[in-house]
Amino acid sequence: MVAFVDDLLETMRASPGCVGIAAPQVGVPRRIVAVDVSGHRRGSQEENHGLLVLVNPEILAMGGKQLVREGCMSVPDYTANVQRAQWVLVDALDREGKQVILESIGFEAVAIQHEVDHLDGYLFLDRVSSIKTDLFRRKRLR
């Protein structure tokens, strides 16, 4: 598993602006995600846990609401407004197999919800209220 997690992290870091990745995104049907918002402008302004590797993550509780603009490396041409919880309480194993229970807020909480959705077979597009008003073609910088 260590080699796979290292490959997953390498893939995440090689994708500009990427703050998370889930094993199913690279064709591996395992419940493993990596999240690191610390290098992103939205994540660096908030308290966060740095690099998280979560195995078999389960969201135990969530609260608050926030409307956020999300993108995804699985859907590179679009972003969308998505309703997410402001905070989450997560139970998982870390990359060494030790249980971790962590509370996350803000942008990091959004990233965790987004990646856990991948494990459950959802894309952020499945969470869009109105395709007509909340889906946007991503601008490409040249």
- Residue 100's identity, in one-letter code, is V
Q: Which two tokens stand for residue 60?
A: 């135990």
| Active-site residue, 115 included | yes
Exactly one of 10, 47, 58, 115 is catalytic; name it.
115
99-105/87-93 β-pairing: antiparallel
DSSP line for 79-116 = EEEEEE-SEEEEEEE-TTS-EEEEEEEHHHHHHHHHHH
User: In sequence order, which ranges of the chain are alpha helices (DSSP H)?
Assistant: 2-14, 41-44, 106-119, 131-134
Which residues are known catalytic residues?
115
